[in-house]
Amino acid sequence: MPSNMELRRISATPSPATGVRTAPTVAKMIDTTTCIGCKACEVACQEWNDLFNADIALEAPSEFGSYQTMPDLTANFWNLIRFNEHVEKRPDGSEKFHWLMAKDQCMHCEDPGCLKACPAPGAIVQYTNGVVDFQQEHCIGCEYCVTGCPFDIPRLSKKTKKVYKCTLCTDRLAYGLEPACIKACPTGCLQFGTKEHLVQIANARVEQLKHNGYEKAAIYDPPGVGGTGVIYVLGLGDQPELYGLPNDPHVPWTVSVWKHALKPIGSLLMIGALLGTIIHYVRYGRNEAPGMRKVDREEV
Amino acid sequence: MAVSRREFLKISTAGGVGIVAFGFDLAPAYAVVRELKIERTTETRSICPYCAVSCGVIIHTLGDKSKNVTGTTVVHVEGDPDHPVNRGTLCPKGITLKHDIVNNTRLTKPMYRASGSDHWEEKSWDWMIDTIAQRMKKTRDDTFIEKNAAGQTVNQCPGMAIVGGCTDNNEVNYLLVKWLRSLGVLYTDNQARL
Amino acid sequence: MTNNWVDIKNADVILVMGGNPAENHPCGFKWAIEAKKTRNAKLICVDPRFNRTAAVSDQFVQIRSGTDIAFLAGVMNYMLTNNRIHKEYVANYTNAPFLIKEGLLLPGDNDGLFSGFDPQKRAYDKSTWAYEMGTDNFVKVDMTLEDPRCVFQLMKKHYSRYTAEMVASICGCSKEDFLKAAEMISSTYAPEKAGTIMYALGWTHHSSAVQNIRAAASMQLLLGNVGRPGGGVNALRGHSNIQGATDMNQTHTLPGYLKMPKPEWQSLKEFIDATTPKKLRPNSMNYWENTDKFMVSMLKAFWGSAATTENDFAYSWLPKMDRDYSWVYIYDGAYNGIVKGVFSFGMNPVGNGPHSKKMVQALSRLDWLVVAENFETETASFWKAPKEYDPPAAAQIKTEVFMLPAANFAEKDGVFTNSSRWLQWKWKVVDPPGDAKADQEIIGRLVLKLRELYNKEGGKLPDPVVKMAWNYSNPVSPNLEEVAKEVNGKVLEDFTDEKTKVDYKKGQQVPGYAVLRADGKTLSGNWLHSGYYTEAGNLAMRRNPVDDSGGLGAYHNWAFNWPANRRIMYNRASADLNGKPWDPKRPGIWWNGEKWVGDVPDYKPDYKPEEMIGPFIMNPEGVGKLYAVEMNEGPFPEHYEPYETPVDNPLHPKVSSNPVTKLFKTKMDVYGTRDKFPIVCTTFRLTEHFHYWTKHEAILNQLQQEFFVEIPEELAKEKGIKHGDRVKVSSARGSVEGKAMVTKRIRPLKVAGQTVWQIGFPIHWGYAGKSVGPLANTLTPTALDPNSSTPEYKAFLVSLDKA
């Protein structure tokens, strides 16, 4: 095993980060009040990450009658805008119609449930900048990460038997470039920067929205997972589920408890069998976040 | 670990400052970050061909334009960050321009459909140009009106329409208007009123 | 666009109407979002559908398709009655003070018609609309705006009928929503405020197309918003180079909007006399006075040394235009056997419409059809159109079809002119695939072949064909930089400019259109683009990303902006009478005591403010027009119903639709009535697709997988239609089938006391490409705007059934 990992966390590996260097936590901000649902981010992701397979997509069933591209994320579609038509009942008794659009992808949790749940050493890592990345060559396809994720993001590819999700374009970040979705976004509803800075910008935007008719505007940066590397500005901030976001996400207790308990044991190899049993339980007791769709779908 | 020495060096040097600055450390084998796929491609500035926002695009092609690079192709398209209007952004159509340029249904051969036929047949450019010129000349000569009923010189060619240009550059539009008005064509139009 | 894309960030109020920029121009729309974020600008969206722009707007008003004039006239009435107009601007920079002759009748006093209508000809005699001329041969004015015959008083009277109640009744919106929007829009009447309008085909695809835009322009003039940063009337154009194509070649104009000659103008002098406007006020600059210089320079570019003083610079070789030859007439001509051959570069008439079935029939009657294309289109393969288009059997179609594989944008260089009139050079990236060729080579080879045939065989009037100037280094495929130099213009013989005393030498590129001459010593393919390829080089290649306008987003050193690198048109109107900016934080140009500085002035730089030269230099009036005699259906915009309408016009039921709409007479030109087709239908574009091209791209097809019909929930319930059901939409001309998208985004409307339903569907599909579906234009009518001949794609009647 290589040593001197400059990573914050590594799945199924007891050692925490061994490096001494620090780095600012990076983040994405999604201002849903300026999102026009154009899907530039969807295809920017596909183009940059070479995820599009023309022949397969041609056969894609069109069972879904909405502007939304497809019902849910897939192993090769990591970035999906969810569309929702909503009638808001205003305090004065009037109704206001909203066509809500929100980008769905990996949230890059500060406290990543996927990584905690993963039994394969090194299959999921978290860099010191906060980015959570899957290393498919170490992935064993057990889908425990799927269970551990409070946002229902990772997807198993039926073809490769590995799990995939947004990498935050680590290959671009490594070269000092912003993620592909961020660069593409025509209206600038997607922003990239340090988390500290983006939280300030998001707070200012929330204040502006409150003065402009969005009394319930709020930031979405859920504390249950230690905050996320993807934060939202929501116009109807009291109802994140309207945007397809869980109200108060937590890493499933099963994952937390067992990871916590196991930590002092020091060697995962020693308790491999035990962990397997536990995770098996966890897997089938999988977390269903409110307001989130569960549609099994083939890759396209 | 599956990182060869060569790849390792590439990652380390290419990642360089950016990697450390953004919190990556690529020395450990666990963190295999893909190499930047456009690092050594050739960049050409162009303008998106769709709507009239006319976003600046950077089109990446394989190779460095050296003499022996003949089978080059477009490998990626991204917005031009210098462009004052789009500032690097693109809509879904602009981002996928690669699929417009490199597309297995692009027309690559002149095709002809004969009168009454139910199929295309491949023809040479020379045959096409000769035949089209003959048809144009015949139509012009058959229908040309030098003087109208009032005896006014009108020099009209009403039997022929030449349309297009909204997808083409100004210079070709200019060649087109010069040519078609010289032929006496009045029936001309483009997308402007559609 | 009068202004430019980035300038939208300077607006305090943005009215999006007759367009859906979030959907169709997302990267330009960012500047509207920027204004919202940085200036707290208000975004108002008025549309038949709650669309992607509406999703991020501050105020949305749903109106019935085709009632935009009623809405805008209502806003103007609100402004005029509540004194929310920019008075100094209106009095000095518009024709509000101009007097109109006695005898003009307005539609409110004349059963919906202006005076002078001839029902037989379906046309107006405009003599009663004219200005009252003084003995000095200039229009009489009343600067107090009190005279009952001045434009201001007439317009007040005309628009007074558009009360909030009337607007609500015509448009089907609530009175409250209308008033809220009117209040927001009119807030920019304050001199230091600026508001903009973003519109597109939602205004032009109507039988009252040009009057929609005139209404918008009038509103902006009353608010003092034209010519200013953050203001203007901004047409968001739909194709990458539709602006450049319009500048170069329209049916009825020559390059640079010079008029096409008519048969009655037999000599060049007659043409110049007839097309050069006379000043209507003493202080009008009247820039079109230079028409002769632009025309002669163009003739020299067309025919070179064959264009001489002796032969009127070959003026007689230009065809003379005696009627309407535009788009729909081309295919009507083909249907009627007048047009024998059609040569199409990148156009798709079967898809573009209107009335796809008639298009298929029209093409079936041609002798020949040439298409130069990137992909096989519905037009190229019209002879194998599916049976729902009723094509004749292939064996019965005599048309020979030539399909030429053409290079696309990345496979050739040259300039695209964007919506803000920026001439931007693009560089060639790759070679075209296979045997595909660039259009300049297709044209070049045909030019040479036709010349050879005419030289060999003779024929009708060979001179213009064989003597056309084609002296490019490579005549087979002209180098586009060489062509660019010809478009810009060059000096043919040495001369000294009479005004500036500057010497110009033979062979030199002209620095701009101001030095062009009527004596044949200069040539210029298009005077309006002159200045982009000067002795300083190809300015369309400039890529300096520094904003030199103090944050206003003008970018004078990026590319070239016609005219004369000016970023905002009519920018003299950005300053008050003394030359001070209306808003010092957003100056356009200003008088520094010696000259006008700031943006490139749309004005003579040394005209002193006290000379009071009008800012609208292209109008013979010198000012902006609230009243326009040129219009074919009246000098003021009036609400007329779409040609196919679900209700009688609430203002004047006897004259419901535009009385001078252009219609067609073949047996296929049928129009529907509300008894059989009770539902209003509109068509639109999606951000995921471009026109009829991108259905060839699988990656975009996955984003919008099939043709669909947007149906209001309440109507779906009434018809028993569920989300995802297949439905059939029929008009008098045909029907289409697709998936029902049942939505809250379109609501039932209360129009003139009755419920009116609207539905809509996107264009983009057809029978060629990787994602096939019905052509939207199967349903659209051959009813045209009388000024622009634009078909009424956006409002027609249909029936809806479960398929």
pLDDT tens track for C743-801 = 999 999 999 999 999 999 999 999 999 999 999 999 999 999 999 999 999 999 999 99
Same domain, B45 and B61: yes
Instruction: Answer yes or no: is B115 within a domain.
Output: no
Q: What pLDDT, on a 0 to 100 scale, did the predictor assign at position A38?
A: 98
Residue B79: both structure tokens together? 């917005």
Residues of chain C with CATH 2.40.40.20: 679-802
Report the distance separating Cα C375 and Cα B95, nearest Å: 20
For residue B96, the domain's CATH number is 3.30.200.210
Mean pLDDT of C649-655: 98
pLDDT tens track for C228-284 = 999 999 999 999 999 999 999 999 999 999 999 999 999 999 999 999 999 999 999
Assess whether pLDDT exceeds 90 at residue A256: no
Q: Which CATH number fits domain C6-238: 3.40.228.10, 3.40.640.10, 3.20.20.70, 3.40.50.1100?
A: 3.40.228.10
End-to-end C-alpha distance for chain A, whole angstroms: 36
Phi, psi (rounded to 5 degrees) for C76: -65, -40
Same domain, B32 and B42: no
Q: Which CATH number fits domain C679-802: 2.40.40.20, 1.20.1600.10, 1.10.10.10, 3.90.1330.10?
A: 2.40.40.20
DSSP track, C705-735: -S-EEEEEHHHHHHHT--TT-EEEEEETTEE
Q: Which residues of B touch A19 (CB under 8 A)?
A: 25
- Rounded to a whole number, what is the distance in Å from the CA of A45 to chain C's nearest CA? 12
- Mean pLDDT, chain C, rounded, equals 97
Asked if residue B155 lies in contact with residue C461, where contact means CB atoms within 8 angstroms, the answer is: yes
Assess whether pLDDT exceeds 90 at residue B160: yes
Distances (CA, A) of B85 to A207, B60, B94, C30, C483: 28, 20, 14, 9, 27
pLDDT tens track for C518-537 = 999 999 999 999 999 999 99
Residue C181: both structure tokens together? 């929007």
DSSP track, chain B: ----HHHHHHHHHHHHHHHHHTT---SSTT--PPPPTTTTSEEEEEE-SSSTT--EEEEEESS-S-TT--S--EEEEEE-TT-TTTTT---HHHHTHHHHHS-TTS--S-EEE-TT-SS-EE--HHHHHHHHHHHHHHHHHHH-EEE-TTS-EEEE-TTEEEEE-TTS-HHHHHHHHHHHHHTT--B---GGG-
Beta-carbon separation of B34 and A122 below 8 A: no
Residue A122: both structure tokens together? 């090194």
pLDDT tens track for C179-204 = 999 999 999 999 999 999 999 999 99
Instruction: Answer yes or no: is B48 within a domain.
Output: yes
Name which of A10, A50, A183 is nearest B79 (Cβ-Cβ): A183
Distances (CA, A) of A285 to A78, A145, A261, A289, C85: 24, 13, 19, 12, 67
Partners of B161 in the β-ladder: B187, C342
**Nearest residue to C762 (alpha-carbon basis) of C786, C741, C784:** C741
Size of interface A-C (CB pairs under 8 A): 103
Residue A193: exposure state from Cβ atoms within 10 A (0-12, 13-18, ≥19): middle
Residue B89: pLDDT band (50, 70, 90) is: very high
Q: Which residue of B has its CA nearest to C558?
A: B84
Instruction: Answer yes or no: is B43 within a domain.
Output: yes
Beta-carbon separation of A2 and B1 below 8 A: yes
SS3 C45: strand
Inform me whether the C-beta atom of residue A89 falls under 8 Å from chain C C-beta atoms. no
- Rounded to a whole number, what is the distance in Å from the CA of B120 to chain A's nearest CA? 25
Mean pLDDT of B98-111: 97
Beta-carbon separation of C251 and B103 below 8 A: no
In chain B, how many domains are there?
3
SS3 A134: strand
**Residue in C27, C412, C561, C787 to test binding to B, most B beta-carbons within 10 Å:** C27
Touching subunits of C (3+ CB pairs, under 8 Å) are: A, B
**pLDDT exceeding 90 applies to what percent of chain C?**
100
Q: Give every strand in the sheet of B74-79, ordered side by side.
A: B42-47, B56-61, B74-79
Residue C634: pLDDT band (50, 70, 90) is: very high
Beta-carbon separation of C697 and B110 below 8 A: no
Q: What pLDDT, on a 0 to 100 scale, did the predictor assign at position A101?
A: 97
Q: What pLDDT, on a 0 to 100 scale, did the predictor assign at position C51?
A: 98
Distances (CA, A) of C553 to B90, C80, C519: 19, 33, 40
Q: What pLDDT, on a 0 to 100 scale, did the predictor assign at position B30?
A: 55
pLDDT tens track for C14-25 = 999 999 999 999
Q: Is the peptide bond before A179 cis (omega within 30 degrees of 0)?
A: no
Asked if residue A172 lies in contact with residue B77, where contact means CB atoms within 8 angstroms, the answer is: no
pLDDT tens track for C413-472 = 999 999 999 999 999 999 999 999 999 999 999 999 999 999 999 999 999 999 999 999
Mean pLDDT of B40-65: 95
pLDDT tens track for A28-65 = 999 999 999 999 999 999 999 999 875 555 445 555 66
pLDDT tens track for A147-188 = 999 999 999 999 899 999 999 999 999 888 999 999 999 999
Report the distance separating Cα C482 and Cα C471, nearest Å: 10
In this prediction the pTM is 0.94
- Rounded to a whole number, what is the distance in Å from the CA of C373 to chain A's nearest CA? 22
CA C431 to chain centre: 33
Report the distance separating Cα C627 and Cα C692, nearest Å: 38
Residue B101: both structure tokens together? 């340029």
Residue A20: pLDDT band (50, 70, 90) is: confident
ipTM: 0.97
Q: What pLDDT, on a 0 to 100 scale, did the predictor assign at position A19?
A: 63
Instruction: Answer yes or no: is B31 within a domain.
Output: yes
Name which of B31, B36, B88 is nearest A125 (Cβ-Cβ): B31
Q: What pLDDT, on a 0 to 100 scale, did the predictor assign at position B70?
A: 82
Same domain, B9 and B43: no
Report the distance separating Cα C353 and Cα B32, nearest Å: 54
Beta-carbon separation of C321 and B144 below 8 A: no
pLDDT tens track for A83-108 = 999 999 998 999 999 999 999 999 99
Residue C159: pLDDT band (50, 70, 90) is: very high
Q: What pLDDT, on a 0 to 100 scale, did the predictor assign at position B35?
A: 84
Distances (CA, A) of C594 to A89, C546, C607: 60, 27, 9
Mean pLDDT of C724-746: 97
Mean pLDDT of B175-186: 98
The boundaries of the domain holding residue B174 are 144-193
Name which of C36, C698, C745 is nearest A54 (Cβ-Cβ): C698
- Rounded to a whole number, what is the distance in Å from the CA of A59 to chain C's nearest CA? 9
Mean pLDDT of A203-217: 96
Phi, psi (rounded to 5 degrees) for A31: -90, 95
Residues of chain C with CATH 3.40.228.10: 6-238
Assess whether pLDDT exceeds 70 at residue C716: yes
pLDDT tens track for C94-125 = 999 999 999 999 999 999 999 999 999 999 99
Q: Which residues of C touch B59 (CB under 8 A)?
A: 410, 429
Report the distance separating Cα A115 and Cα A100, nearest Å: 31
Mean pLDDT of B31-54: 91
- Mean pLDDT, chain B, rounded, equals 87
Name which of C340, C422, C464 is nearest B139 (Cβ-Cβ): C340
Q: Which residue of B has its CA nearest to C395?
A: B116
Same domain, B46 and B97: yes
What are the structural domains, with CATH classification, of chain A? 23-52+66-284 (3.30.70.20)
Same domain, B11 and B68: no
Residue A7: pLDDT band (50, 70, 90) is: confident
For the beta carbon of residue C470, count every other beta carbon within 10 angstroms: 18
Instruction: Answer yes or no: is B111 within a domain.
Output: no
Instruction: Answer yes or no: is B114 within a domain.
Output: no
Q: What pLDDT, on a 0 to 100 scale, did the predictor assign at position A259?
A: 62
SS3 C541: helix
Same domain, B22 and B60: no
Beta-carbon separation of B89 and A5 below 8 A: no
Beta-carbon separation of B34 and A133 below 8 A: no
Assess whether pLDDT exceeds 70 at residue A17: no
Same domain, B49 and B16: no
Instruction: Answer yes or no: is B148 within a domain.
Output: yes
Touching subunits of B (3+ CB pairs, under 8 Å) are: A, C
Residue C499: both structure tokens together? 């005004």
- Rounded to a whole number, what is the distance in Å from the CA of C303 to chain B's nearest CA? 9
Mean pLDDT of C134-151: 98
Same domain, B31 and B46: no
Partners of B111 in the β-ladder: B122, C403
Beta-carbon separation of B110 and C250 below 8 A: no
Report the distance separating Cα C355 and Cα C481, nearest Å: 40
